[in-house]
Amino acid sequence: MNLKILNNLPIRYKFIIACTMLFTPLAIMVGFFSDSLMRDTLEVQIRRELKNSTESILNMIKLSAQLSIKNSLRNIAENNTDIVRMYHQQYLDGVLTEKEAKAQAAKILLSQQIASSGYIYCLDSNGVVVVHPVDAMVGQNLTGISFVDDQVKRKSGYQEYAWRNPDDLKAKPKAAWMTHFEPWDWIISVSAYREEFDHVVDIDDFRESIGSLEFMKSGYSYVIDLNGTLIAHPTYQGKNVYAQGVETPEGLFATMLTQDSGEVFYTWQNPTEMSPRRKIVVFNRIQEMGWVVASSAYLDDLYRPLDTIRNIGLLIGLFILCGGILVAMQISTAITRPMELLIDHLAHGATGDYSVRMNYQGRDEIGQLSSFFNQFMERLGAAIHEREKLEQQFIEADDKERLRAGQDLHDDLAPHLIGVEIMCQTLAKRLREDSSPAAEQAETIRGLLADATRKTRALARGLCPIHRVDEGLGFALQELIDTVMTFYPVQCQTYGTNCTPIDRAVAVHIYRITQEAIYNAVKHANPNIVTVTLSQDDDALIVEITDDGTGLPDSETSANGEPSNGMGRQIMAFRARMIKADLEVVSSPKSGTTVRLFLPNKYINKEDALNA
């Protein structure tokens, strides 16, 4: 067929030809391949449904176990805290000396066994063991061990960690509940292996929920322990699959009880049926409980609807082919023209022009879509305006609060420290005149006060950078990295600090973005070097902050490079939007993090940026 003839045909005939050419081979393909495609689709669907059901039951049991473990450990910890408090009261009442009270309280704590092998121990706020069932551990400082550091930091609450005893092959999950008895500075920790709490979970709580799950016509879920006992099953409840007289598919439970998760196909014949049928089971193990959760379904139940679905599909295909040819001429013009107009308006809206509106008067779907489009654009424009207004108010309030704090440090605390330093200097002089050995200590105190004054002023300059920015952005950034090196053991350097004079408000936003990026790096990424590079070409001012630290987690960097989590990183993005700049964050564990700000030269002045 000559394509030039098609170009000259009305669109309604093009619709007819297109529908014929599209649906005729499609109908033939459906006739040949529908069975295979539907079979694969149904298998994927049943696998997904079985997997989701298994995970749902597993998560339900795990959550219950965790809550039960928490409650058990918490009750024990709170009861023992009451015991310690009782002996402390006896000490306060004069019945016992403090040493006797502590000894008797410790004896009570150590006399208890949690689950099978758990125990109670106590640390103080310095990480030193004060009570422990192993005498050699008492007095040991355990700081540096991650879970101990966490206990010292939090002092109370629930904690999970992995611990390997010397005779264990690998670490096993443990759980602990901590309470802090402040009068003696005892962090009372009740700990035990999680696997020893399987008795606190009652399968009866879940049996009804598990039994209510059905897949296709006769599929079901069940739970079996590692000894082969079916602890939740619609038919063989309480039976052991290895017991004599119990018929089980060969190799099924051997696979389920030796692997952590997977799926197995097998053949099974119910007592009420004449022949065996093919089944699939998806299973997953709960390590702490020693249970295996499984969901199963019969494959023939899955494939039975195929004939009906195939016939319906062919009828639908034929109907669509005929109907498409009949209505193509009527709907072509009614659809294509307003759709093209709507697409054009959407393209304008995508460029940031939220004032575009559809002027379509019809009441059909296109008319409704046009009305929704107009409402959406109106609300979107209002929301964008309101968001920008709120962002600006938030940033202004933040800057105002920083300014107030910086002025308080500079005008109040710094002079106060200077006054105390002078008093210490005078005191040291008098002590030296009296040949007092305390003169050297007084001079040391004076030096510490001088260092505190210097750090206070550095903090004030960081919180209130306006006057520094007035001397140039490069000067302000140089002072910023000097301040960072005052407080953190990190090497900072700057390059290319000369640039075109920038409006104060715009420069303060750039300063704050740089400040936030540097502090994020030194606080969270453990870098050795942080570099700030300021450059400007004919198009834009570019500020780049790089470090050689550990980088950001994947969840904290969005697909377009902008910060996605954390108040500090969101504020960086807000400030960038306020001055019409582009902010990009690139991070990896091997190369550290790079924060790059592009500010077009036309927005160097505040008024230009805000009116853009």
Q: In the chain, pLDDT over 70 holds for what percent of residues?
A: 69
- pLDDT single digits (tens) 201-218: 666 666 666 766 666 677
**Poorest-pLDDT segment among 81-95, 121-135, 471-485:** 471-485
pLDDT confidence of residue 433: 76
3-state SS, 310-370, equals: HHHHHHHHHHHHHHHHHHHHHHHHHHHHHHHHHHHHHHHHHCCCCCCCCCCCCCCHHHHHH
Token readout for 346 is 């959407």
Q: Pick 610 or 405 by higher pLDDT.
A: 405
pLDDT confidence of residue 562: 46
pLDDT confidence of residue 349: 72
Q: Pick 9 or 345 by higher pLDDT.
A: 345
Average pLDDT over residues 543-556: 79
Q: Which amino acid would we find at residue 351?
A: T
pLDDT of 566 strictly over 80: no
pLDDT of 33 strictly over 70: no
pLDDT of 599 strictly over 80: yes
Token readout for 588 is 């990896």
Q: In the chain, pLDDT over 90 holds for what percent of residues?
A: 15
Is this structure's pTM higher than 0.85?
no
Average pLDDT over residues 109-120: 86
**Poorest-pLDDT segment among 53-67, 83-97, 502-516:** 53-67
Q: Which of 133, 89, 78 is nearest to 107 (CA)?
A: 133
pLDDT of 87 strictly over 60: yes
Dist CA 90 CA 224 (whole Å): 52
Label residue 104 by pLDDT band (50, 70, 90).
Answer: very high
Average pLDDT over residues 348-369: 73
Q: Pick 501 or 144 by higher pLDDT.
A: 144
Opening angle at CA 445, ends 439 and 448, nearest 5: 145
Average pLDDT over residues 554-581: 66
Average pLDDT over residues 85-110: 92
Label residue 180 by pLDDT band (50, 70, 90).
Answer: very high
Label residue 559 by pLDDT band (50, 70, 90).
Answer: very low
| Extended beta strands in 98-239, E state | 119-123, 129-131, 157-163, 172-181, 186-193, 220-225, 230-232
Strand pairing partners for 157?
A: 178
Q: What mean pLDDT, rounded, does the chain reach?
A: 76
Label residue 1 by pLDDT band (50, 70, 90).
Answer: very low
Q: Pick 214 or 483 by higher pLDDT.
A: 483
pLDDT of 23 strictly over 70: no
